[in-house]
Amino acid sequence: MSGMAEANEKLVCAILAEQVAHLRDKMDASDAFDLLWRTSALLSWLSGLLADINRQSPQASPVVERERNEAISEIAEIRRKLDHLAFVEAQRQDFAKQIADCVIVALERMSDAQMPPGTHFASADLAALYVSEDQRRLHEEVLQRLKGQAA
Amino acid sequence: MPIILVLDDSATMVMSLSHILKGAGYEVETGMNGREGITKLSGGLKPAAILTDLNMPELDGIGFIKEARKIASARFTPIIVLTTESGGRKRDEARAAGASGWLTKPAEPNQLLSVVKQLCPVK
């Protein structure tokens, strides 16, 4: 590869690294999580309030009492589902950010002006950045597929 | 209330774990990497259990476990690794460093609480 082409390629990698970093920083959907946690906390407070009302008005009709108990059960179930959703989504987001980090580091190294001319970032260098077995498995699948296509 | 020390470089993960643990009756202390965890333990924090990620800046999970085991008060504190890594090699490395348990992300809240409650029940 000519020196000019290599310099252009490094420039493209540097720009792409910045673009992916920008995208990764936008992945922090903290407002959505904050809303989920606040809703869960509010439901917990409402549930406690209903339980207090139950205790303080023992003369309420059986129908009202049953409806209050049903509401408390329903609130508990919705809270459980909200907490589950927030936790699973937080982990998904974390995983996506880690994959983005891996792409950013790879692109930064490929764009590194200090990299001696003629040296290249190899697939094994990329594999060393992985943080999960899923990434390593996918890496192997792609290598096998590309080898199959080349054969 | 038993204190759980949570270490993860993702602010969202830290908040999510804190929310679940507090909801189950635990007090939560947090740190964004292993170094912050060591600083807290060295400063006198005595958690009932520690939840740590593996891939963190400054001091990663394995490094944290090794250093934590050198602190007298944390020598036998249960340390649970919560990570995207599911490979046997990493698991063995964490166990050799002194990890007590392992949970692979994505984990369910019930899985997490079941492990934490076994190690340190809320009275």
| CATH code, B97 | 3.40.50.2300
Nearest CA in chain A to B13: A90
pLDDT at A35: 86
Give the separation between CA B80 and CA B52, rounded to whole angstroms. Answer: 6
Low-confidence residues in chain B, pLDDT < 70 = none
Report the DSSP beta bridge partners of residue A88: none
Instruction: Name the residue among B121, B107, B42, B43 with its Cα closest to residue B78.
Output: B121
pLDDT at residue number A2: 67
The region that residue A137 occupies, defined by phi over 0 for left and psi between -120 and 50 for alpha, beta otherwise, is alpha
Q: Do A33 and B16 touch (CB under 8 A)?
A: yes
Contacts of B109 in chain A (CB under 8 A): 83-84, 87
Please check whether residue B22 lies inside any domain of the structure: yes
What is the percent of chain A with per-residue pLDDT over 70, rounded to a whole number? Answer: 92
More confident residue, A135 or A54: A135
Min CA distance, A124 vs chain B (Å)?
Answer: 17
* ipTM (interface pTM): 0.76
- B55 interaction partners in chain A (CB closer than 8 Å): 98, 131
For residue A51, what pLDDT is reported? 84
Report the pLDDT value the prediction gives residue A26, as an integer from 0 to 100.
81
**Residue A84 burial (CB < 10 Å; 0-12/13-18/19+)?**
middle
User: Which residues of chain A have a CB within 8 Å of the CB of B60?
Assistant: none
Q: Are B5 and B30 in contact (CB under 8 A)?
A: yes
* Nearest alpha-carbon partner for A78 in A34, A38, A33, A44: A44
Residues of A in contact with B86 (CB under 8 A): 132-134
Q: Is the pLDDT of residue A140 over 90?
A: yes
Residues contacting residue B94 through CB under 8 Å, at least 6 positions apart: B54, B61, B62, B65, B81, B102
Tell if the CB–CB gap between B109 and A44 is shorter than 8 Å: no
- With tokens 């673009």, the residue in question is A19
CA of A48 vs chain B CAs: smallest distance (Å): 13
Most distant CA pair in chain B: distance in Å? 36
Nearest residue in chain B measured CA to CA from A80: B109
Range of the domain at B42: 3-117
Structure-block tokens of residue A107: 């692109």
Residues A18-50 pLDDT 10s: 999 998 888 766 678 888 888 988 998 898 888
CA distance A33 to B123: 29
Which distant-in-sequence residues (6+ apart) come within 8 Å of B35 by Cβ? B58, B59, B64
> Per-residue pLDDT tens for A98-136?
889 899 999 998 887 666 667 778 888 889 888 888 888
Average pLDDT over residues A68-73: 88
Distance CA(A7)–CA(B77), nearest Å, equals: 53
Count of structural domains within chain B? 1
- A–B interface: beta-carbon pairs under 8 A: 70
